[in-house]
């Protein structure tokens, strides 16, 4: 079993980005600037956005953090987006999801200028991806592809099962894995909450990508011997033996699945770190597109 080390890979990628930013600065070109909007104070979202901002600093990007109250009106959020769309110093921005229930998420995503949509959530960017001409690809699936690429994992002709069909992860992941690319060219099945006999699919998968948001859902009896296991989940579960009172786990029961796998991502230290790298790579691309 080989551990897919997101920590090591992400450090490599951050270093590559930082070198490019140095070059940009030496040439007196525009320094990439990412803005992040956080609505409300959901604990997990706070952590993610803080990490995105921190990593901007690490690679030499400028960053702007915009915090709005949980009861902010949809109109006010749309106005904030419009300001960022029109601000030529901002190369890309994200609105952290999920949003409070009174705000229509797709209305918000639709309002972001596609050329600044570094999350790759706008229908234009999703459309480009579906047509095989990707511009900005959603950060988590993009990070998974980068991981498969850098570990030189053969995906061509392999049977890939994607668990989960969210707009952020499952759906773009399935599109990417099915495209005529390297990595890619896999035969893909998307499974979800209504799938019958789930184990029949998962146990045949050469590559199993799990993004269903259920702690330690995938157990060893559900996976094929020698499978590549990509775990997108991250959850806090109570653990009295830890000082913090909790531990982080993924959607996969790591201890029992790992010995059966050929490659597996740990949680933490796996896909999560790759997501941030993808976001920064997209932001750099947005800046370079404006040169």
Footprint of ligand GUN (CB under 6 A): 94-97, 119, 139-140, 168, 275
Q: What are phi and psi of 198, to 5 degrees?
A: -50, -40
* Active-site annotation holds for 119: yes
DSSP class of 100: P
Task: Please give the C-alpha separations between residue 224 and each of 99, 135, 149, 188, in angstroms, as whole numbers.
Answer: 37, 34, 22, 16
Q: How far is the CB of 140 from ligand GUN (least distance, A)?
A: 6
Chain centre to alpha carbon of residue 129: 15
- Check residue 216 and give left, alpha or beta (phi > 0: left; psi -120 to 50: alpha): left
Q: Which of 5, 117, 119, 231 is catalytic?
A: 119
One of 52, 158, 179, 253 is an active-site residue; which one? Answer: 52
Q: Closest CB to ligand GUN among 261 and 265?
A: 265
Q: What does the alpha-carbon distance between residue 211 and residue 217 come to, in Å, rounded to a whole number?
A: 10
The least distance separating ligand GUN from the CB of residue 233, rounded to whole angstroms, comes to: 12
Shortest separation between residue 278's beta carbon and ligand GUN, angstroms: 8
| Nearest residue to the partner ligand GUN, using Cβ | 97
Active site residue 239: no
- The answer to whether residue 75 is catalytic is no
Active-site annotation holder among 96, 117, 179, 231:
96
| Cβ closest to ligand GUN, residue 155 vs residue 278 | 278
Minimum distance from CB of 277 to ligand GUN (Å)?
12
Q: Which is nearer to ligand GUN, 94 or 257 (CB)?
A: 94
State residue 173 phi and psi, 5-degree precision.
-60, -45
Residue 143 or residue 183: which is nearer to ligand GUN going by CB?
143
What is the rounded CA–CA span in Å between residue 9 and residue 54?
Answer: 18
Report the phi/psi class of residue 213: left, alpha or beta, with left for phi > 0 and alpha for psi in -120 to 50. left
Catalytic residue annotation: 52, 96, 119
């Amino acid at each position: 079993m080989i551990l897919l080390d997101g920590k090591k890979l992400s450090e490599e990628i951050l270093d590559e980005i930082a070198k490019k930013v140095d070059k940009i600065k030496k040439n007196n070109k525009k320094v990439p600037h990412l803005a992040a909007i956080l609505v409300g104070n959901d604990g997990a979202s706070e952590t993610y956005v803080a990490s995105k901002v921190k990593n901007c600093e690490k690679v030499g990007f400028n960053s702007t953090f915009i915090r709005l109250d949980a009861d902010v009106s949809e109109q006010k959020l749309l106005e904030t987006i419009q300001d960022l769309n029109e601000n030529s110093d901002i190369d890309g921005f994200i609105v952290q999801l999920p949003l409070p229930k009174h705000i229509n998420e797709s209305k918000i995503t639709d309002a972001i200028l596609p050329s600044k949509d570094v999350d790759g959530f706008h229908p234009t960017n999703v459309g480009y991806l579906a047509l095989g001409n990707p511009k900005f690809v959603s950060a988590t699936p993009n990070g998974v592809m980068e991981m498969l690429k850098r570990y030189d994992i053969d995906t061509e002709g392999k049977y890939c099962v994607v668990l989960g069909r969210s707009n952020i992860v499952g759906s773009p992941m399935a599109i990417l894995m099915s495209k005529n690319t390297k990595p890619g060219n896999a035969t893909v099945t998307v499974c979800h909450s209504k799938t019958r006999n789930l184990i029949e699919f998962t146990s045949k998968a050469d590559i199993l990508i799990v993004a269903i948001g259920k702690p330690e859902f995938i157990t060893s009896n559900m996976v094929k011997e020698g499978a590549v296991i990509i775990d997108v989940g991250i959850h806090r579960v109570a653990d009295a033996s830890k000082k913090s009172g909790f531990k982080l786990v993924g959607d996969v029961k790591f201890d029992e699945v790992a010995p059966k796998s050929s490659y597996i991502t740990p949680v933490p230290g796996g896909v999560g770190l790759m997501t941030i790298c993808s976001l920064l790579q997209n932001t750099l691309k947005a800046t370079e597109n404006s040169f």
